[in-house]
Amino acid sequence: MTKKEYTITVYTENHIGLLNRIAIIFSRRKINIESLNTSPSEIEGIHRFTILIHETEEVVKKLARQIEKQVEVLKAYYNNNDEIIWQEMALYKVPTDIIAEKAKVERLLREYGARAVVIRKDYTVFETTGHREETDRLITALEPLGLIEFVRTARIAIIKASSGFHDKLKEFEATEPGEEIVENEYLSKQDEVFAM
Amino acid sequence: MFGYPGGAIMPIYDALFDYTNQIQHILVRHEQGGIHAAQGYARTSGRVGVVFATSGPGATNLVTGLADAQIDSTPVVCITGQVFAHLLGTDAFQETDVINITAPVTKWNYQVTDASEIAETLAKAFYIAASGRPGPVLVDITKNAQLQKVPYAGYQKCRHIRSYRPAPFVRSEYIEAAARLINEAERPYVIFGQGVILGNAEQELQAFLEKSGIPAAWTVLGLSALPTDHPLNMGMLGMHGNYGPNVLTNECDVLIAIGMRFDDRVTGRLDKYAKQAKVIHLDIDPAEVDKNVKATVPVWGNCKDTLPLLTSKVQPRSHTAWVQRFKDFKQKETEKVIEPEMKPAGDVLSMAEVIQSLNEITKGDAVIVTDVGQHQMVACRYARFNQSRSNVTSGGLGTMGFALPAAIGAKYGAPNRQVVAIIGDGGFQMTLQELGTIMQFGAVVKIIILNNNFLGMVRQWQQLFHDHRYSSVDIQSPDFVMLAKAYGINGQRVNDRANLNSAMAVMLESSASYLLEVMVGKENNVFPMVPQGRGVAEIVLSADEV
């Protein structure tokens, strides 16, 4: 199996220390986290982790199961890039004088979908959102112009096939376990699995 | 409960003083001893073991036991004191970040900084430790929370945490698919682990085996779930397991794994493990399915629930010819390994004959607690068991020094049973201070030290795989019998075969704790053995074959 980008989406309770518990699942296996974002989710009080890693599907599946095993984790999903809509945001600080003189700022902004967040005498801050390649391209464009600072956020992603977590949460809140909580890939792919 | 006081947990110990008549607190000699004792208690009683420790070094001394309990799924609740909340992060005296240190080795942990959280947190702690796949939980309580006064609303048992699913939903489709595979199988084979014991599913296992007629073998932690004498008990799996159970893993057509996790010591090389078999994996923990060995049919759930469903769907059969194959292998192993071990040619005692001597008197009724190393493998191979929860050992972590404190806890967990700790000369010296706990509180523990004047298992590996280069395995011991005497514990040393049985009888009949040191062959090896990096079918019976 080849390694590729996977996005792991984790729905959790808001619990101090959970970030560490999730992080050590990766570091224990010497797997690098490419990016990690925590944010609120569609449900108040439920947090959403978005973790990007470069691994084989087999490893990602095991990682997701280990994450889901944590007491405060409700659910962990993993998706490849075809299954999600994702964005990253980046900020670029460049010297205003050089930009004003040398760059066709307008073209730059149009081409990269960027906008200026701050314009001061000494520097200007641009912002853009997009995929990694897109934000990287703007670095390449700005580097010759004396890029002072660059920073990019973690990936955030929406799962195309997801219908949200509201219904799932109701099941979690019920005392008796329901069928939906542990999706069973064996069931949906029964023909493949049992035909050994 | 077991524990050791200190600065940051003093308010809790002060409160404990008022409950001296209701709660027995066993003062151990080291926090590691405390948690191993709590583990021993949990293993024999099936209840949650409890241990108290103070902040800083008290808490870090628990880490080995937590890791041990985590990997062996033992329900333990640790309560540690912590510095005042306003001192957190200031490098205060005896402050350590116990929550982060223990995160990888606990099922759950939590820091309480306000007394109003204490009751609910403890209720959660016990629920999490004992439910689903059990494990250790640590609750760290800052000193201000211990001193703070809050209105107490009473203890309410925790029965549900919305983000936590102790057991997965049992799906009948899988039960049916599993039953179909079993009914079509020619050479089905059951391998079971501690999940059977943790799920209290010993009867369910036996019913399943007896109806389906399938031969079964066990992991080290599954030992004692099925009586030694049961006609379908084929023996032990893994690196030092029995011959047939290992070899035939690679000949069965359907492998039914029940409450076990395909540990590397059981499977040997994974790419040479049961490749021909369809695998049915019964486990309560979804993360175990496909972790090491791909399951053809996963049966998620507590085997207490899933086994009866499976039993109801399998046809009554007997696999006489298949079972006979295990017996043929057993015959060969008996001739080549077991007989020579039980009746050694020379004067030098073997570990196996000591275990055999023990068997003859206890008839398999004792709780046997072992440490880690050669004696552990020999005890697991040869000790007899009639009832479950009788084998206590450090299986996953392999913690030397586990046995003595665990045996103390095991005795509190099963006060009416004979508890025998079997320990090597190396491991005993790691936690021997717990003799003081025995002396003070009187737990009746029978201690057998199998002394070969070596760190035997490491020496065996050095002999076989490192060209006889015995690096730092020649360990000297004190006079163990005199040492025990210093703690008020009687004992004797056995050098000769002629005295073994009578000394064993004296030890077992003693109404107080007793230490029996048996001098055994210095360079004896444990066989059979699946050498590291080889498949289970490549198991060898002697050093010549390695």
Comparing C-alpha atoms, which of B259, B276, B268 is closest to residue B238? B268
Q: Say if A118 falls within a structural domain.
A: yes
Q: Quote ipTM for the complex.
A: 0.93
What percent of chain B is predicted at pLDDT more than 90?
Answer: 98
Nearest C-alpha in A relative to B177: A194
Q: Are residue B237 and residue B281 in the same domain, yes or no? A: yes
CATH number of the domain to which A64 belongs? 3.30.70.260
Q: Tell me, what CATH number does A90's domain have?
A: 3.30.70.1150
CA dihedral A75, B138, B44, B156 (to 10 degrees): -80
Residue A134 has pLDDT above 80, yes or no: yes
Comparing A184-188, B281-285, B336-340, B481-485, the range with the smallest average pLDDT is A184-188
Contact B423, B448 (CB under 8 A): yes
Give a yes or no: residue A193 inside a domain.
no
In a domain? residue A187: no
Instruction: Answer yes or no: is B163 within a domain.
Output: no
Report whether pLDDT(A196) > 50: no
> Do the domain assignments include residue B340?
no
Strands A115-119 and A123-130: antiparallel
Rounded CA separation B197/B298 (Å): 20
Element (H, E) at A156: strand A156-159
Q: How far is CA B502 from each of CA A84, B421, B424, B514, rounded to the nearest angstrom?
A: 74, 18, 21, 14
Q: Residue B492: how many CB atoms within 10 A of its CB? A: 16
| Nearest partner of B399 among B371, B358, B425, judged by Cα | B371
Same domain, A77 and A131: no
Q: Which amino acid is at B234?
A: M
Q: Is B151 exposed, middle or buried (0-12, 13-18, 19+ CB in 10 A)?
A: exposed
Q: Are residues B519 and B374 in the same domain?
A: yes
The answer on B489 and B392 residing in a single domain is: yes
The parent domain of residue B390 ranges over 349-523
Nearest CB among B99, B104, B162 relative to A173 is that of B162
- Assess whether B431 and B492 both reside in one domain: yes
In a domain, B165, yes or no: no
Radius of gyration, CA atoms only, chain A: 21
Q: Are residues B305 and B178 in the same domain?
A: yes
For chain A, what is the domain count? Answer: 2
Q: Is the pLDDT of residue A180 over 70?
A: no
The verdict on residue B57 lying in a domain is yes
We report the CATH number of the domain holding residue B248 as 3.40.50.1220
Q: What is the pLDDT of residue B116?
A: 95
Determine the average pLDDT of the residues in B445-462.
98
Chain A partners within 8 Å of B161 (Cβ): 71
Binary contact (A16, B300; C-beta < 8 A) = no
In a domain, B544, yes or no: no
pLDDT band at A176 (very low <50, low <70, confident <90, very high): low
Residue A192 lies in a domain: no
Q: Name B367's bridge partners.
A: B419
CB distance from B291 to chain A under 8 Å?
Answer: yes
Is A19 within a domain?
yes
pLDDT at A195 over 50: no
pLDDT at residue A135 is higher than 80: yes
Q: Are A78 and A115 members of one domain?
A: no
Is B488 part of any domain? Answer: yes
Residues A17 and A56 in one domain: yes
Residue A50 forms part of a structural domain: yes
Query: B100, B108, B163, B296: best mutation site toward chain A, by most A Cβ within 10 Å?
Result: B163
Put simply, whether B17 touches A (Cβ < 8 Å) is: no
Residues A77 and A168 in one domain: yes
- B22 assigned to active site: no
Could you read off the pLDDT of B59-111 as tens digits, one per residue? Answer: 999 999 999 999 999 999 999 999 999 999 999 999 999 999 999 999 999 99
Tell me if A66 is assigned to some domain: yes
Q: Check whether residue A145 and residue A55 sit in a common domain.
A: no
Q: Is A28 on the interface with B (CB under 8 A)?
A: yes
B278, B298, B300: residue with CB nearest A196: B278
Spatial separation of the C-alpha atoms in residues A75 and A49, rounded to whole Å: 10
Cis peptide before B245 (omega within 30 of 0): no
pLDDT at A193: 42
Q: Kindly report the number of other CB atoms within 10 A of residue B227's CB atom.
A: 17
Report, as an integer, the average pLDDT of A55-62. Answer: 95
Mention every residue, 6+ apart, whose C-beta is less than 8 A from residue B297.
A186, A193, A194, B174, B177, B178, B181, B278, B279, B280, B281
Q: Average pLDDT, stretch B179-188?
A: 98
Contact A162, A108 (CB under 8 A): no
B35 or A98: which leads in pLDDT? B35
Tokens of A194: 């049992």
Q: Are residues A114 and A169 in the same domain?
A: no
| Interchain CB contact of A192 with B (< 8 Å) | no
Cα(B338)–Cα(B328) distance, integer angstroms: 14
Q: Tell me what the pLDDT averaged over chain A comes to.
A: 88
CA angle B352, B354, B358 (to 5 degrees): 115
Task: Please report, rounded to a whole number, the percentage of residues in chain B having pLDDT higher than 70.
Answer: 100
CB distance from A190 to chain B under 8 Å? yes
Band (pLDDT 50/70/90 cuts) for residue A177 is low
Residues B366 and B489 in one domain: yes
Could you tell me the pLDDT band of residue A178, with boundaries at 50, 70 and 90? Answer: low
With tokens 């040393």, the residue in question is B493
Q: pLDDT (tens digit, 9 = 90+) per residue, B328-364?
A: 999 999 999 999 999 999 999 999 999 999 999 999 9
pLDDT higher than 60, residue B326: yes
A66–B287 C-beta distance less than 8 A: yes
Residues B397 and B429 both lie in one domain:
yes
Same structural domain, B376 and B502: yes
A75 and A37, same domain (yes or no): yes
Residue burial B411-423, b: 16+ Cβ < 10 Å; e: rest: bbbbeebbbbbbb
Tell me which long-range contacts B484-487 makes (C-beta under 8 A, separation of at least 24).
Answer: B484/B435, B484/B447, B484/B515, B487/B435, B487/B436, B487/B438, B487/B439
pLDDT value at position B61? 98
Give the integer Cα–Cα distance in Å for B446 and B368: 10
Which residue's structure tokens are 């709590």? B38
Measured between beta carbons, the chain A residues lying within 8 angstroms of B107 are 71
Q: Residue B412 maps to which CATH number?
A: 3.40.50.970
Asked whether residue A177 falls in the same domain as residue A140, the answer is no
Chain centre to alpha carbon of residue B119:
31
Digit-coded pLDDT (tens) for A90-103: 999 999 998 888 76
Structure tokens at A30: 């010497």
Task: Specify whether the CB–CB gap between A39 and A89 falls below 8 A.
Answer: no
Q: How many residues does chain A have?
A: 196
Q: What is the pLDDT of residue A190?
A: 46
Count of structural domains, chain B: 3
Same domain, B355 and B459: yes
Mutation choice for B interface testing from A67, A71, A193 by most B CBs within 10 A: A71
pLDDT (mean) for B469-493: 98
Burial of B149 by CB count in 10 Å (0-12 exposed, 13-18 middle, 19+ buried)? exposed
Q: Which domain holds residue A104?
A: 85-152
Q: Is B160 on the interface with A (CB under 8 A)?
A: yes
Mean pLDDT (whole number) for A73-81: 96
Residue B205 has pLDDT above 70, yes or no: yes
Q: Let me know if B457 is a catalytic residue.
A: yes
Q: Sign of the CA dihedral A162, A166, A168, A169?
A: positive
* Structural domain contains residue B306: yes
A100 and A63 housed in the same domain: no
B143 has catalytic annotation: yes
Mutate to test the interface with A, among B71, B97, B162, B261 (most CBs of A within 10 A): B162
Same structural domain, B395 and B455: yes
My answer on whether A45 and A96 are in the same domain is no
Q: Do B287 and A12 touch (CB under 8 A)?
A: no
Amino acid A11: pLDDT:
96
Residues A32 and A59 in one domain: yes
Rounded to whole angstroms, what are the CA distances from A37 to A25, A88, A89, A166? 16, 10, 12, 21
Average pLDDT over residues A178-187: 52
For residue A179, the model assigns a pLDDT of: 57
Residue B333, domain member (yes or no): no
Residues B387 and B452 in one domain: yes
Please name the member of A62, A172, A177 whose beta carbon is closest to the beta carbon of B291. Answer: A62
Q: Which of B107, B124, B143, B304 is catalytic?
A: B143
Task: Please tell me whether residues B179 and B319 are part of one structural domain.
Answer: yes
> B224-277 pLDDT, tens per residue?
999 999 999 999 999 999 999 999 999 999 999 999 999 999 999 999 999 999
Q: Are residues A77 and A15 in the same domain?
A: yes
